[in-house]
Amino acid sequence: MDTFVSLFSPPPPLPTKTSQLFHASSPPFSLPKTHHSRKRFSRVQSKYGNFLDLKPESKPEVLDFDLPRLDPSSRFRSDVIIIGTGPAGLRLAEQVSQYGIKVCCVDPLPLSMWPNNYGVWVDEFESLELESCLDKTWPMACVHIDDNKTKYLDRPYGRVSRKKLKNLLMERCLSNGVKFHQAKVWKIEHKEFESLILCDDGNELKASLVVDASGFASNFVEYNKPRNHGYQIAHGILAEVEGHPFDLDKMLLMDWRDSHLGNEPYLRTGNSRIPTFLYAMPFDSNLVFLEETSLVSRPVLPYMEIKKRMVARLRHLGIRVKRILEVEKCLIPMGGPLPRIPQSVMAIGGTSGIVHPSTGYMVARTMALAPILAEAIAECLGSSRMIRGKSLHQRAWNGLWPIERRCVREYYSFGMETLLKLDLNGTRRFFDAFFDLDPYYWQGFLSSRLSLTELALLSLSLFGHASFLSRFDIVSKCPAPLVKMIGNLALETM
């Protein structure tokens, strides 16, 4: 899952979790804990033992680049300042700078390696000519609906090499003349034709446009509607194990089986209401990335609950963890309203609303949308007229979010609201029908490349493929989200 991935500078970790199907790095949200949950979990630990006491062995990695630093005392003035050097920030920087526009990236740790595992469909990166940045591919993916039914997806899946991708984007930025300033942005102020950022090192930097690529936790982008997100939460580990049951030529996209909870009635009851699934990337017979994931919930499922379910699942699968190389803690806000359009701060990545509301996918989509936003910016700042101020902000935001794309997002949000209403059995029935669709539709849905008309056809086809009980779920649980979507579509097109 990109599954589960962050596209920006890593926010602070959750107190002691990629997509790419459904993942991102952990913003500083507080997660609920209960005294009873801790007691139950301690009994599980004492009886069976588990991997949670193992510490990740990998050390934070820093890239070896001699960055061209911005001298705040010089007369150099940026056209565009991008806050954040995650995948979203660097991708936009290299795209904007190729037009000859002066770009400065501001980040407290510009050379640090991104913390998350990013998974993508191979064809998505091939279309962007980024397939060289994949360090592992699987010719197929599979989905365990239940103990008796498995779907095999004839679509190659890959893991992104974070080091290769960041090196590539950084090299392109440097060759295009992008400058860097190592600091944290505290405040942004706006004038009629320029913006000023105030950094924690006391420096003030000016530009015609400021783009926020710093992640979900940012407060620089404004909303004019309540942020009623759904939440995807996951706990992942890259682990050396004594062995595992996964086919090495298949990536496990989702495992909805719950037989591992047979002796855990408390966990089984909770999983029946708000299910979680296992996502697994087997690299060899002893190395595997494992992630227990709640696709979407509101309010967020407690993080401790995710970890308890993962302990029970790995024990049932007979997976004994010898070493943990990496730990991933993931919490992704999904859906909810778009930022106010337009506004003085532009955005890209998680804070711009481009996370897939139904899946959490984000990395490949950000890589694809950054050139579109860069072109809109270049039409203003790269022209002899130098369009700035409100006109620049309007064109940039409409470049990222034209009416058609906003309407499509409303449909995906409708999908998220529907998933929120399904229990384990309803979720199984949904994905059973979903992956029976023509591959053009399910692949296009997961990759955010269907038009509004095609999404309507997908809905009709999904209803046709659904079982009687799944149709009942749709008829009984979809009306409220459907009415909400229609109302939002009407507002968007007015």
**In CATH, what class is 78-138+150-224+337-400?**
alpha beta
Return the domain boundaries, the chain.
35-56+234-325, 78-138+150-224+337-400, 403-493
DSSP 8-state secondary structure symbol assigned to residue 435:
T
The SS3 of residue 336 is: coil
Rounded distance between C-alpha atoms, residue 219 and residue 367, angstroms: 23
Give Cβ neighbours of residue 475 (< 8 Å, ≥ 6 apart): none
For residue 384, how many other CB atoms are within 10 A of its CB?
4
CB 12 within 8 A of CB 28: yes
pLDDT digits 0-9 by tens, 333-367: 999 899 999 999 999 998 999 999 989 889 999 99
CB 42 within 8 A of CB 22: no
Give Cβ neighbours of residue 2 (< 8 Å, ≥ 6 apart): 18, 19, 20, 21, 22, 23, 118, 119, 120, 360, 361, 362, 363, 364
pLDDT digits 0-9 by tens, 359-405: 988 999 999 999 999 999 999 998 777 899 999 999 999 999 999 99
Whether a cis peptide bond, with omega within 30° of 0, leads into 339 is: no
CA distances from 145 to 87, 232, 258, 274, 295 (A): 33, 19, 10, 15, 14
Question: For residues 394-428, b (16+ Cβ closer than 10 Å) or e, as one string?
Answer: bebbebbbeeebbbbbbbbbbbbbbbbebebbbbb
Rounded distance between C-alpha atoms, residue 21 and residue 295, angstroms: 9
In single-letter form, the type of residue at position 6 comes to S
Q: What confidence score (pLDDT) does residue 25 get?
A: 33
- If we measure between CA atoms, which residue out of 321, 326, 370 comes closest to residue 348? 370
pLDDT of the chain, 494 residues: tens digit per residue: 554 333 333 333 333 333 444 333 333 333 344 444 444 444 444 343 468 888 888 887 889 899 999 888 787 789 999 999 999 999 999 999 999 999 999 999 999 999 888 999 999 999 999 999 999 999 999 999 999 999 999 999 999 999 999 999 999 999 999 999 999 999 999 999 999 999 999 999 999 999 999 988 889 999 988 888 999 999 999 999 999 999 999 999 999 999 999 888 999 999 999 999 999 999 999 999 999 999 999 999 999 999 999 999 999 999 999 999 999 998 999 998 999 999 999 999 989 999 999 898 899 999 999 999 999 999 999 877 789 999 999 999 999 999 999 999 988 998 899 999 999 999 999 999 999 999 999 999 999 999 999 999 999 999 888 888 888 877 777 766 666 766 666 666 66
